[in-house]
């Protein structure tokens, strides 16, 4: 393979890497994911090792693979003079993979569909909650409760309201399990009834049909 010329200024390349330097134990960034999280995790690890700015520049390529590695190899020689510039170019290149952060108020827009199972609504709500920047337990609980469609479950928790989202989720799981068990029992009973009726129909005696005697009566006189 053809060796590419490093994209760093001479001052960065002249600094000798210490023999005790340890590779950052982080997952390599290829293309997908949040680039800002990758940079912050890398920066934190390098700061623990008291790494200089030059060391941070030269070791960064170790954490890249795939498309990100190809991008790094295409940087112009001697165009990078600091880690600040390198990380800025990296973030600009892969910003489309950055997770969009939302406010807690976003959770109030989530509503359970008329035909959406309770379990599906809880899973969908939790996925959106992970994207919230200023997550607050009380607001999340209010948002989750307000998004529920009216029914037996809302009536149940209305009599004894939960105090945390975790408690609401736990009670929703128990309700879902009970509902699924009840539906399963009904399906089994319906199957047994259908089989019994079918068996009874098969066991009914068939009425024998006699052919009418269309011959003329014999004159016995």
Instruction: Give the model confidence (pLDDT) of 38-62 as tens digits.
Output: 999 999 999 888 899 999 999 999 9
- Work out the pLDDT band at 103, boundaries 50, 70, 90: confident
Q: Which residues contact 34 (CB under 8 A, 6 or more apart)?
A: 97, 98, 99
Clarify whether residues 129 and 66 are in a common domain: no
Candidate from 33-37, 101-105, 207-211 with smallest mean pLDDT: 207-211
User: Would residue 211 count as lying in a domain?
Assistant: no
Domain boundary among 71, 97, 123: 97
Structural domain count of the chain: 2
- Work out the pLDDT band at 152, boundaries 50, 70, 90: confident
Clarify whether residues 89 and 31 are in a common domain: yes
Candidate from 6-15, 30-39, 90-99, 179-188 with smallest mean pLDDT: 179-188
Clarify whether residues 113 and 188 are in a common domain: yes
- Work out the pLDDT band at 113, boundaries 50, 70, 90: very high
- Higher pLDDT: 73 or 22? It is 73
User: Would residue 212 count as lying in a domain?
Assistant: no
Domain boundary among 97, 126, 144: 97
- Work out the pLDDT band at 147, boundaries 50, 70, 90: very high
Question: How many CB atoms are located within 10 Å of the residue 93 CB?
Answer: 16
Residue 114 in this model has a pLDDT that exceeds 70: yes
Clarify whether residues 77 and 122 are in a common domain: no
User: Would residue 53 count as lying in a domain?
Assistant: yes
Residue 180 in this model has a pLDDT that exceeds 80: no
- Tokens 């200089």 belong to residue: 52
- What pLDDT was estimated at residue 176? 83
Q: Which residues contact 47 (CB under 8 A, 6 or more apart)?
A: none
Pick the closest to residue 148 from 159, 138, 158 (CA basis): 158
Check: pTM over 0.75? Answer yes or no.
no
- What pLDDT was estimated at residue 64? 94
Alpha-carbon distance of 156 to 135, in angstroms, equals 26
- Domain with 144 in it: 104-196
């Amino acid at each position: 393979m053809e060796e590419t010329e490093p994209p760093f200024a001479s001052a960065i390349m002249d600094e000798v890497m210490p023999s005790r330097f340890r590779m950052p134990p982080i997952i390599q960034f290829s293309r997908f994911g949040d680039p800002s999280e990758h940079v912050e995790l890398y920066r934190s690890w390098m700061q623990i090792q008291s790494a200089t700015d030059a060391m941070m520049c030269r070791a960064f390529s170790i954490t890249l693979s795939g498309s990100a590695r190809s991008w790094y190899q295409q940087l112009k020689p001697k165009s990078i003079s600091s880690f600040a510039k390198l990380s800025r170019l990296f973030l600009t290149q892969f910003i489309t993979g950055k997770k969009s952060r939302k406010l807690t108020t976003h959770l109030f827009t989530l509503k359970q569909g008329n035909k959406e199972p309770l379990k599906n609504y809880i899973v969908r709500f939790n996925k959106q909650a992970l994207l919230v920047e200023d997550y607050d337990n009380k607001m999340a609980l209010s948002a989750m409760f307000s998004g529920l469609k009216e029914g037996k479950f809302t009536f149940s928790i209305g009599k004894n309201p939960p105090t945390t989202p975790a408690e609401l989720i736990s009670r929703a799981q128990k309700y879902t399990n009970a509902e699924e068990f009840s539906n399963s029992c009904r399906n089994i009973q319906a199957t047994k009834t259908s089989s019994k009726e079918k068996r009874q129909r098969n066991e009914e005696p068939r009425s024998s049909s006699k052919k009418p005697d269309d011959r003329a009566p014999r004159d016995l006189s």
